Each structure stands twice: as structure tokens, then as C-alpha cells.
Amino acid sequence: MNLKKLVIEPLRKANPVTVLVLGICSCLAVTAKLKPALVMGLSVTVVTAFSNLIISLLRKGIPSRIRIIVQLVVVATLVILIDQFLKAFAYDVSKQLSVYVGLIITNCIIMGRLEAFALSHGPVESFFDGLGNGFGYSLILIIVAFFRELFGSGTLLGYQVIPQSFYDAGYQNNGLMILPPMALIIVGIVIWIRDAGRRDVRHET
């Protein structure tokens, strides 16, 4: 199978968030600023890729009746590693992410890919499939965080982007952007823009 295709496809055509609506769960809460969103996207990518790899290596030995528990244990172990790593090397980001790091365990993208791909494919392919889906997920987080931070705080990654002269001329940050509901509305608009003008997408209603 073509490895490049496995990585590229989830970015647009089979994006886990906008097409399959997986993993949207908790993680929108980290998109008020760009930096936590980047860290979150990266963490999820690492967990998806490695849990796919590990489960794919083990797939012949796991009895199918208890596979969910085995998957949960593998994923939870990886998430604990990520959590400890963040606490050690990026303490302030890990404080901002608070409980949402732990919630990577129940992120449906990971379980979905394990069930749909890793259990039936070889380790190398599964690893790249995990990477691709992680990137597709990060892409959405980054788009949402970009707009929320730009219009909500006038900064990007903490640096002032909107010049001071705008504020002097009466420009105001849009406080609504920082609040949770806007994240949902932006995802809705992203889906809208992506599907506009495309005939082949058929959402079930």
C-alpha cells in the first residue's frame, strides 16, 4: 500500500474531524490559544501513531473478546508517558491543557483507527495511518486556534500581531472568540467552506 497516500488522505478527503466527526470531544477546549492547540495536536499524533504501531504488532496475539481493554491499556500507558513528559518539559502548557491531556485516552480517533485499521494491517502501514490521522486532527485544531487567538486576543503564539495603531484607532478584540461556543461555530464554518462547491460529499441527515 502507498504510504504517502496513507498520510495525505486524512488531511482532506477523509479528515477525521470534519468528515468522520471523530475525536471532536474534549479537544476544542484547548483551541482558545494557538500554543496549547499545537501541543495537543502533537500529543494526539504521537499517541495515535504509536498505539497503532503497538496494537498492529500485537494484533495476532490479542483475543478479540478482550481487545477493547487491551487497547485502552496501551493508549492509557502512552498518554501517561505524554502527560509526565509535558509536566517535566512544558509545565505551563501542561497546566493550561489540564484534564484534556488525560482525555486523549477516550479520544474516538484513536480507538476508531485501532479498530478500523491497526487490527487488520501491518505495523509500518498502521504507523503511517496513525501519523496521517493525527495530522488531519491537528490541522483542524490549528485552523480553529488560529482564528480564535487572532481575533480574540490579537496575538499569535503569544506575539502581538494586530498593530497597536489599530487599537488606538478604536479596534477592539472580540471577546466572544475566547469563549467556548465560538470554537463550535468555527468548526461548523470550516465544514461549510470545505464542502461548498463539492458534489461528492453526502452528509447523512
Residue ranges that bind other proteins, judged by CB under 8 A: 18, 21-29, 68-69, 72-73, 76-77, 79-80, 83-84, 98-99, 102-103, 105-108, 111, 176, 179-185, 187-189, 191-192, 194-198, 201, 203-205
CA distance 184 to 181: 6
- C-alpha distances (whole Å) from 165 to each of 148, 161, 173, 198 are 21, 11, 13, 41
Which is nearer to other proteins, 3 or 20 (by Cβ)? 20
Find the shortest distance in angstroms from Cβ 44 to other proteins: 13
Residue 95 CB, nearest approach to other proteins (Å): 11
Nearer to other proteins, 106 or 155 (CB): 106
4 vs 83: CA distance, rounded Å: 30
Please state the closest distance from residue 111 (CB atom) to other proteins, in A. 6
Closer to other proteins by CB, 61 or 181: give it. 181
Cβ proximity to other proteins: between 6 and 187 the closer is: 187
In angstroms, give the least distance from the CB of 57 to other proteins.
Answer: 20
Question: b/e map of 37-52 (b: 16 or more CB within 10 Å)?
Answer: bbbbbebbbbbbbbbb
Please identify which residue in the block is written with the cell numbers 486576543: 153
- Smallest gap, in angstroms, from Cβ of residue 116 to other proteins? 14
Q: Which CB sits closer to other proteins, 157 or 176?
A: 176
How far apart (Å, rounded) are the C-alpha atoms in residues 67 and 145? 35
Using the Cα atoms of residue 118, residue 122, residue 126 and residue 129 in order, give the sign of their dihedral.
negative
